Structure 1
Amino acid sequence: MLLQNDKVAFDTISQKGEDVAAIKKIIDGTEKEYNNPLNYVLTIERQAFVNDIVENVMTTGKRDVTLTEDVEKSSRTSLRERIDGLLIHPVTGIPILILVLYFGMYKFVGGFAAGTVVDYLEGTLFGEMINPWVIESFNAAVPYPAIQDLFVGEYGILTQAVTYAIALIMPLVGAFFIVFSIIEDTGYLPRLAMLIDRAFKKMGMSGRAVIPMVLGFGCSTMATMVTRTLETKRERIITSMLLSLAIPCSAQLGVILGILSFSGKALFIWAIVICLELVLVGYLSSKVLPGSSPSFFMEMPPLRLPKLSNVLIKTYSRMQWYFLEVLPLFVVASVLIWIGRLTGLFEMAVQLFSYPSQWIGLPAEAGVMFLFGFFRRDFGAAGLFDMYNAGLLSDINIVVAAITLTLFMPCIAQFMVTVKERGVKIALGMAAFIFPSAFAVGFVVNYVLTTFGVVL
């Protein structure tokens, strides 16, 4: 118990007058000899001891089964083991991961949800049927321009906040959570952690960080809270940094995938730049922050087919949490924008963001998109979607805007959670690095694409 730093054990020997400092010195010396936390060492030793006991005392009794049943069971076990090996081996596991991302994220979230579902909900249902009726009815009932602007104006609570939340964000987040629930229920997630553990160690993390990183593609705010389960403070800081920097939430990802689907080359440029930034910042962070990558071990559940009931229940509970969290923030954002427009602060903020926007080759109107992105990442993605539909961006502009918006500041909710989990100084330090680096990367990408005349 002392080797595991049990508080009760230390209190007991302290009350008996034992030399606690000397005991702690012995424990520290023992830990250095093993190069691993003693909790981990003791767990491994216990498991080995238990396995030895099991091997010596357990026997296989006679069973009244046929040879065919034995062969079928052996075949099933052998097949499962072979699939396990394929999933965690880099040569076969990485292509399988690419296929999962292609069909799960690109085709289902980016193609079906961001394309077919969003086009109908936002364009037809809300754009042509619900919103015109809401605007006409509200204006007839409330003849005050300021109140009309708050509820049914360009950035109104009903015409933008509710529309974005239901018609744009909900289908994208729902599609992602369906994919995530299927991956989780099959047992693929722990195998993915094993697959990328070695790569993550180069960035100061372990395979355990795959859980918050994958969750970040659903909601980075929720993923930042999950980082508290990671083993060391260093790993928690690096994971939080990468979540804030380069992991788009499902709504932002869905919109970007939908917009960039016009060109495979554009999508490839976006993906490769984001991945390079993720790896580079992770690697540099691991060199700057003191400490070493934590050891990684994880229980491997058996592979199985996903149960529809499990997938639906998990998706529903996550959607319920997300929707209750996101809709009030959209309403708050609309109210803040309304106050800002009344006081002139909104135009000042847009003007402020227009300078870095033009610096990376975007029109001044893109400042609105980045301002929205500060309220919510998905709000910024919705602004990008509107600019794309309005024809305000060229092909190169779209790629540059998508890259910069992905690398841009975390939304207010994620920033506040980062402050709570990591502290004010670390959160502000992350923000101070992310804001200029996002526009610096956007500038470089725009310069390279325009200088070399890349056609998308």
Structure 2
Amino acid sequence: MNCHGETEGVASAGGSIALVGNSNVGKSVVFHRLTGRYVNVSNYPGTTVEIARGSAPFLPESVVIDTPGLLMLPANSEDERITADLLLRDPFRAVVQVGDAKNLRRTLLLTLQLAEMELPLVLALNMMDEAEAHGLHLQTETLSQALGIPVIPTVAVQRRGIDRLEQAIAEARASRYRLTYPAEVEAELAPLAEGMPDSPISARALALLWLAGDQAAGDWLGQRMEASVLDGLAARRDRLAMALGESPADVIQRARWAAVNQIAEATIQETEATRSLGQRLGDLATHRVWGPAILGVVVFGLYEFVGVFGAQTLVRWMEAGLFGKVVNPWLTDWLTRWIPIPLVVDALVGPYGLWTMGLTYALALILPIVSTFFLAFGLMEDSGYLPRLAVLSHRLFRIMGLNGKAVLPMVLGLGCVTTATLTTRILETRRERLLAVLLLALAIPCSAQLGVVMGMLGAVSFQATLVWLAVVAAVLICVGWLAARLVPGERSSLMLELPPLRLPVAANVLVKTAARLEWYLKEVVPLFLLGSLLVFVLDQTGLLSRMARLTEPLVTGWLGLPAEASLAFLLGFLRRDFGATGLFALQSRGLLSASQTLVAMVTITLFIPCIAAVMMIARQHGWRTTAAIVAVVFPLAFLVGGLLRILLQATGWT
């Protein structure tokens, strides 16, 4: 049975407003509408893996927090535990649950848990247009009365319902909704709740989390209670399990599902749904035959847009035209005339100058490439294609001990391997996170490097691009297969909801692209400048040439590349895109043949990641694991590159 009474506990002025909800329900879009700030919005679970904050213009002195997706409590994955921990630790002014209107039952399962916490709560039923397209008509007033909280229908991408949502947040109150559990559970709840320490959530909700075995709640209580007291609580939980004949978590969850079904039946009115063109295309995108065919078209389109238009047409105009013929000659002439100090001139416009190497690489060579990549990635995000890519790639990732969910870090790695390493937290087990990090470090090039690689291979032939892709993919699969058998642990299953395919909204795509370009200019360009400065210092002290000579036997003898390529691989230690751009300069000077270009691109792709990515791996898994990954990746890159050279020579490929 369940009941609710009058609401109480008006939210205090100021403070934080938490956006919580299942993955892929539009929390980040709602966050953008409420704050004007952009978060990495995607039609794929796990995009928001760190906490984003933004001021709320509609509520002075209030901050909106966008949290990682939370399916239900107890939390399972690491990103879910972040959200659970926030609810336990922070006294929020209001909690806004963003729910998927077309999946009301799944939404309500979390709603009941949040209502039991007695936090000021608002339910935003998002994607109402999609629910109606599925023939679902929701009686939001009935639902609001049943739960004792405001229920606001929204379509966040169109800003429908946002004004009402802002008003509801300002007036949010805590619901006194209460679900009655089986007698055995209720008998334990009362004394357990009385012994709970003070927390932002109700003592009853905290006791329920403890009975259900929630890790975040266990950690929180462990910091506030004596070990002997916790042992006593654990003994009571064990006795309850004995009395029930099953886990208390199962009994609690079953009672909640019964309440969810009761509320949903009173709320949902169904009519005959018509399958839209987007739904039919979405089915084709995951079809055994048509799915790979569509993926092939997508990959070819990416190659043409990023590899040909971005990496060749735009780069040629920016680097050879604007910078090569106008900006750099003018700046060199001006500095030589007005600051006739050789060391200063060399530091700014010399071979490794801050301008000629750092900014020219960052703005003239890499910026056009990442701009086209970010735009293409935004189109795939906004269309809803990415989760279908997860389904399509599930069988492949199973070979490597992962599931289709791992496609998100891999795809994000094509933007930035450092960020992608962070997003591996969406994977449920440590084994899966470790395998994903290894594959990211080994065979996933960042957008800056990928653009240079595609541009160089595109200048050779489309066949060269296919060979590069086949070799890198083969190494990825083989290493993943072997690692999956060597690294102990379990593999989780794939549970994923597919949103309908839709036409991308131009404004959304442009906002995403602009935000990512802002990140590139603020975060990556300074690294180019620091890298250039370090290379300049190494060059001035003579260390650079000495280090390059040490690597020449490996680069020239085993890889069959010109001696100048040693410097490019040396720069790759600092940043892989530095190494790629160094090889690009050699190709531009006609020093690399077609086969040498292919060997160089395979080797630099499989090269160790940049310093920032290495630091992130160490932060996530420790230096011992990081050293082991580097010890695998570095020799393997040169081994594969050398074997490819031998194969190309044997077959006469030119």
- TM-score, normalised by the number of residues in structure 2: 0.62
Q: Using the TM superposition, name which of 177-186 and 293-302 deviates more.
A: 293-302
Matched residue, 2:373: 176
Q: Which residue identity lines up with residue 404 of structure 2 in the other structure?
A: G
Matched residue, 2:590: 391
| In 1: Cα distance, 2:226 partner to 2:254 partner | 26
Higher radius of gyration, 1 or 2? 2
Matched residue, 2:527: 329
**Among 304, 308, 311, the residue aligned to 1:114:** 311
Q: Within the alignment, does 1:271 sit opposite 2:469 as a pair?
A: yes
What is the count of residue pairs matched by the alignment? 436
Deviation for aligned residue 1:408: 0.7
Matched residue, 1:194: 391
Matched residue, 2:405: 208
Q: How does 1:304-315 map to 2 (within 5 A)?
A: 304-315=502-513
| In 2: Cα distance, 1:136 partner to 1:84 partner | 57
Deviation for aligned residue 1:286: 0.8
Deviations 1:296-315 (A, max 9, x none): 21233232211111101111
Deviations 1:73-99 (A, max 9, x none): 6252xx443322211223221111111
Q: Within the alignment, does 1:370 sit opposite 2:579 as a pair?
A: no
**Among 341, 352, 355, the residue aligned to 2:550:** 352
| In 1: Cα distance, 2:427 partner to 2:227 partner | 31
Matched residue, 2:614: 415
Q: Which residue identity lines up with residue 3 of structure 1 in the other structure?
A: A
| In 1: Cα distance, 2:306 partner to 2:445 partner | 13
Q: Which residue identity lines up with residue 246 of structure 1 in the other structure?
A: A
Deviations 1:245-301 (A, max 9, x none): 101111211221122122232112111000000111111111111012112212332
Q: Within the alignment, does 1:3 sit opposite 2:212 as a pair?
A: yes
Deviation for aligned residue 1:3: 3.2
Q: How does 1:234-253 map to 2 (within 5 A)?
A: 234-253=431-450
**Identity among equivalent pairs (%):** 41
Q: How does 1:8-407 map to 2 (within 5 A)?
A: 15=229, 18=232, 20=234, 49=258, 52-53=261-262, 57=266, 60=269, 74-76=274-276, 79-103=277-301, 105-261=302-458, 262-358=460-556, 359-407=558-606
Kindly tell me: are residues 415 and 111 of structure 1, through their superposed partners in 2, closer, same or farther at Cα, counting changes over 3 Å?
A: same
Give 1 or 2: higher helix fraction.
1
Q: Using the TM superposition, name which of 4-13 and 310-319 deviates more.
A: 4-13
Deviation for aligned residue 1:180: 1.1
Deviations 1:406-439 (A, max 9, x none): 0011111111111112211111111111111000
Matched residue, 2:630: 431
Kindly tell me: are residues 94 and 19 of structure 1, through their superposed partners in 2, closer, same or farther at Cα, counting changes over 3 Å?
A: same
Deviations 1:33-92 (A, max 9, x none): 99xxx98x8999689657754675466489xxxxxxx7xx6252xx44332221122322
Q: Is the 8 A contact 2:278 2:502 kept in 1?
A: no
Q: Using the TM superposition, name which of 85-94 and 170-179 deviates more.
A: 85-94
Q: Is the 8 A contact 1:150 1:338 kept in 2?
A: yes
Kindly tell me: are residues 185 and 14 of structure 1, through their superposed partners in 2, closer, same or farther at Cα, counting changes over 3 Å?
A: farther
| In 1: Cα distance, 2:330 partner to 2:312 partner | 25
Deviation for aligned residue 1:440: 0.3
Quote the RMSD (CA, aligned, Å).
2.9
Deviation for aligned residue 1:219: 1.1
Kindly tell me: are residues 18 and 44 of structure 1, through their superposed partners in 2, closer, same or farther at Cα, counting changes over 3 Å?
A: closer
Q: Is the 8 A contact 2:279 2:501 kept in 1?
A: no
Kindly tell me: are residues 109 and 46 of structure 1, through their superposed partners in 2, closer, same or farther at Cα, counting changes over 3 Å?
A: farther
| In 1: Cα distance, 2:259 partner to 2:228 partner | 32
The unaligned stretches of length 5 or more in structure 2 are: 1-208
| In 2: Cα distance, 1:24 partner to 1:425 partner | 38
Kindly tell me: are residues 210 and 162 of structure 1, through their superposed partners in 2, closer, same or farther at Cα, counting changes over 3 Å?
A: same
Q: Is the 8 A contact 1:228 1:421 kept in 2?
A: no
| In 2: Cα distance, 1:44 partner to 1:161 partner | 57
Q: Is the 8 A contact 1:150 1:334 kept in 2?
A: no
Deviation for aligned residue 1:354: 1.8
